[in-house]
Amino acid sequence: MISRKAKYALHAIMALARTDSMIIQDIAIQEKIPRKFLEHILLDLKHHGLLESRRGKFGGYGLRIPADHITFGQVLRLIDGPIAPLTCLSRTAYRPCADCQGEESCEIRRVFAKVAESTRHVLDRTTIADALKEGPRPDALNMIAN
C-alpha cells in the first residue's frame, strides 16, 4: 500500500503536467490536498529535481523534467522508499529477514519475488504522461459540466 503522501505527490505531479505552472493554493483546491501537507510534498519533489519553483506574477510550481520522463516508480521511491514487500527483496535497502533459514530455499521469498518484479515492471514503465493519456478523471468531468 502506498502512503497518502505518495498518492498526493502523484496527484500534484499530474496536475502540474496538465499545465505550465500552478500555485500551491490552486493545486491544493483542485486535488483536495491539505495545503500545509502539499507544501512539504512539493519541497521534497523540488529537492529531488522533479519540480522547479518560479517567483513573480507567473510564479508557482512546474515540472522540471517532462511528464514522459517521470515514472510512478520514481515518485514512489522518492516519497515512500523502496518498493519491496520483503526487506530481502529490496534493491536499495536490502536486509536479510531475521527469521530466514536461507533465501534460496525460502518459499515465501520466491512468491513475493514474483510480486515485486511484476510491481516494479508496471511502476517503472508507467510515466505520468501515460497516466494522463487515459483521459480526464471522472470527477474532473463533473467539474467541467457544472
pLDDT at 141 over 70: no
Report the number of distinct structural domains present in the chain. Answer: 1
- Listed in sequence order, the residues at least 6 apart from 134 whose beta carbon sits closer than 8 Å to its beta carbon are none
- Give the residue numbers spanning the domain of 97: 4-145
143-to-2, 26, 30, 56, 71 alpha-carbon distances in Å:
27, 14, 10, 29, 27
- CATH number (domain holding residue 10): 1.10.10.10
Note the pLDDT tens digit of each residue in 74-119: 999 999 998 888 888 888 888 888 888 888 888 889 999 999 999 9
Question: Given pLDDT bands bounded at 50, 70 and 90, which one contains residue 136?
Answer: low
pTM: 0.83
Question: Given pLDDT bands bounded at 50, 70 and 90, which one contains residue 19?
Answer: very high
The predicted pLDDT at position 138 comes to: 59
| Among 11-20, 60-69, 89-98, the least confident range | 89-98
